[in-house]
Amino acid sequence: MVKRESDIATPNSIKSFSDSVRNKMSEYDYINYWLDTIKKITESMKLPRRAIQNINKKLPNFSNNFSEILKKLPKELHEIQIYLIDKGWYLSGDISINISRKIINLIENKKDNEIEIFMQNFTKSKTTIVERKLIKYWPKRARIIRESFCAHQKELYSLSIPVFLIQADGICYDILGVLLYSKDKKGIPKTNEKLNEEIDKAKVGDTKLKFDPLLDIFLNFLRFPTSINKTVVFNEYENKQKNNSAFGLFNRHLILHGKDTSYPTQANSLRAISILDYLIFLKETLENHIKIATEFRGTLDNKNVQ
């Protein structure tokens, strides 16, 4: 991962990771809110001293446990990424801490089938909002998006999957100016360099705005080769199918060039939707990053005027 140095940090890393992209309260803020509320209640209510002491004893332990979870979070997110990338799933940075903990526990216990079912159900729950946001952000693609999601709903996965993959390529180009699956001569996705250029646009004066470190972990899907965009020879595909018949290999090249004839499944259509959902997250994240820099510049300009 490319690291950036900057004296300016984005506000509240955990809040950005959890829910600010979706304009909701983060779990971190939510928990702190209730911790503060509980304290106020105990202060205002005429509770027995012993009851108040018991509550106050438990609050620090709860806070310490949550702090430990946050410390482990970056490492666990990397582990989740490595696992899901190999299975053809993309994961957006708007997932809750509870979901990430659930996935990592399943990975540690080697519950591959349960993870697969969980990811399918998780993506199903987001399908409607993904379709709506795609149409909202890319209205020129509205007809193609509606018809491809219609094909998905009618279980015509041989039609929905190729269109989803093609649209993901074009949508990525709209965001970064480069196709999602393109690679340079060294096999590194071209999205890596373009992503850095977009992040660097957020400046306050001559200083680059530091990108949210937790959100940056999710950008690894664009920095390194994944199962969906790597070059696969047909023999490797056949071996993968034999050794991993439950999941097979979800690869764009094999699907769009007609080498994979077993791709039309609901699971793979949901995988393709997870890519589109990820691109929505990418668009919103980059725009939010630029917005923070703009607001910060505005604050500094106002101070200088005063």
List b or e across 233-267, with b for residues whose CB sees 16 or more CB atoms inside 10 angstroms: eeeebeebeeeeeebbbbbbbbbbeeebeebbbeb
Taking 80 as the threshold, does the pLDDT of residue 36 lie above it?
no
Q: Which two tokens stand for residue 125?
A: 């729950």
Say if residues 98 and 27 touch (Cβ distance below 8 Å). Answer: yes
Mean pLDDT, all residues of the chain: 75
Determine, yes or no, domain membership for 25: no
Query: What one-character-per-residue DSSP string does 273-302 give?
Result: HHHHHHHHHHHHHHHHHHHHHHHHHHHHHH
Longest alpha-carbon distance in the chain: 74
Q: Can you give the pTM of this predicted structure?
A: 0.72
Taking 60 as the threshold, does the pLDDT of residue 49 lie above it?
no
Q: Pick the residue with more confidence: 160 or 239?
A: 160
Determine, yes or no, domain membership for 60: no
Q: Pick the residue with more confidence: 27 or 191?
A: 191
Please count the structural domains in the chain. 1
- Tell me the pLDDT tens digit for each residue of 225-240: 777 777 665 555 555 5
Query: Bridge partners of 189?
Result: 183
- The phi, psi pair for 183, rounded to 5°, reads -130, 155
**Residue 134: count of CB within 10 angstroms of its CB:** 24
What is the span of the domain harbouring residue 240?
A: 74-305
pLDDT bracket for residue 305 (50, 70, 90): very low
Taking 60 as the threshold, does the pLDDT of residue 59 lie above it?
no
Lowest mean per-residue pLDDT among 16-20, 167-171, 271-275: 16-20
The per-residue pLDDT for 8 is: 39
Determine, yes or no, domain membership for 16: no
Best mean pLDDT range from 35-49, 109-123, 179-193, 218-232: 109-123
Burial class (CB in 10 A: 0-12, 13-18, 19+), 38: middle
- The phi, psi pair for 226, rounded to 5°, reads -125, 170
The per-residue pLDDT for 167 is: 97
Q: Which two tokens stand for residue 163?
A: 């269109």
Best mean pLDDT range from 80-84, 113-117, 289-293: 113-117
The per-residue pLDDT for 69 is: 54
Determine, yes or no, domain membership for 143: yes
Determine, yes or no, domain membership for 224: yes
Determine, yes or no, domain membership for 121: yes
Determine, yes or no, domain membership for 50: no
3-state SS assignment for residue 52: helix
Say if residues 31 and 25 touch (Cβ distance below 8 Å). Answer: no
Determine, yes or no, domain membership for 26: no
The per-residue pLDDT for 185 is: 81
